[in-house]
Amino acid sequence: MADKARRWQRKRVFVTGATGLLGSALVSELVSQGAEVTCLIRDWVPSSRLILTNAAARTNVVGGDLLDPALLVRIINEYEIETVFHLGAQTIVGTASRSPVSTFDSNIRGTWNLLEACRLNPRLVQRIVIASSDKAYGIHEHLPYTEDAPLQGRFPYDVSKSCADLIALSYFHTYRMPVAVTRCGNLWGPGDLNYNRLIPGTIRSALLDESPIIRSDGTFRRDYFYVRDAVGAYLTLAEQMTAKALSGEAFNFGNEQPVTVLEVVDTILRVMGKSSLKPVILNEASDEIPDQYLDCAKARRILDWKPDHSFEAGLLETIPWYRERLEADAAPSPASAGSPAAVPS
């Protein structure tokens, strides 16, 4: 354990998407292991775990955008970055469908801007881990997805991840850059405040004694991947990239236990003692793939990796976080608490 805790000590790491669910958790873990982390933050998000836990105060925070290539070059040069975790993206399927151009800008152009900045600094950058997604595979008749399945996204978000994934691997094949790609299942866990997503929305509804909302017909199957396990997967891959010559490789990471939307909701309600609540099924989801789940045998075989948390174990860590968050949101602010403040005469 002591050896593991020293692996990132004084390592200079650049994380994009640091205010997101995975980014916040990854930065916190890197900081706890003594890494010198630089975060690119486009929008200051006070409710992000990166901010709430004060992890941002222990990093170099650079304000800016993936669409600014000169800024990315400056960051890598001035902070002498050795390892890059590229998590920055527009990650909401519905947002991508409403605004495909901005999604393509963030997810595709942002990726090649970052890779170009790394290409211009080959003496510094030793490892680049690019976040793709299981969505990059698109619709396939035969499941689970394996890493050699074609990338054939159809809808805007899926296409953006297919393209970013292919672009990342092209930088390895063309320029022999130290790039590896992760394709994860649906991430969830403490820190996700997008209540339009299934798990945060269901937990909040249960805490408020409201019926949870299901946008689809409830039969869609997914591989739900706990955020702490995702952090472990990213760090494991990055730690082994050089020793095992893993540049140019893609790895699936997930629980390999696909469940339907209704099964997820039922489990959350049961664990929270709210089984009397019945979900409202809207059956209005569009531009989504019905079934998506992963084969992670390659990660087990090559990286000796496996997730540490069952779905229910993750829930037992996640539900209290949302309860505390909702209580904090509902609490009166200091300015409004108690009797009205006296007005100076």
In sequence order, the β-bridge partners of residue 13 are: 37, 83
Please enumerate in sequence order all residues whose Cβ is within 8 A of that of 64, keeping only pairs 6 or more positions apart, or say none.
40, 41, 42, 71
Please enumerate in sequence order all residues whose Cβ is within 8 A of that of 201, keeping only pairs 6 or more positions apart, or say none.
195, 212, 213
Which of these is catalytic: 157, 171, 224, 226? 157
Q: What is the DSSP string of 236-305?
A: HHHHHTTTTT-TT-EEEES-S--EEHHHHHHHHHHHTT-TT---EE-----S--SB--B--HHHHHHH--
User: Tokens for 141?
Assistant: 């008749």
Please enumerate in sequence order all residues whose Cβ is within 8 A of that of 136, keeping only pairs 6 or more positions apart, or say none.
151, 153, 158, 161, 162, 164, 165, 183
The DSSP secondary-structure symbol of 90 reads: -
Q: Specify the residue for token string 């997503």.
A: 197
Are 233 and 181 a contacting pair, CB within 8 Å?
no
Q: What is the DSSP string of 123-182?
A: TT--EEEEE--GGGGB--SS-SB-TTS--B--SHHHHHHHHHHHHHHHHHHHH---EEEE
> How buried is 114 (Cβ within 10 angstroms: 0-12 exposed, 13-18 middle, 19+ buried)?
buried
Q: Rounded distance, CA 290 to CA 31, Å?
A: 38
Q: Rounded distance, CA 262 to CA 277, Å?
A: 13
Q: What is the DSSP string of 177-239?
A: --EEEEEE-EEESTT---TTSHHHHHHHHHHTT-PPEESS-S--EE-EEEHHHHHHHHHHHHH
Reply yes or no on whether 157 is catalytic: yes
Residues designated catalytic: 157
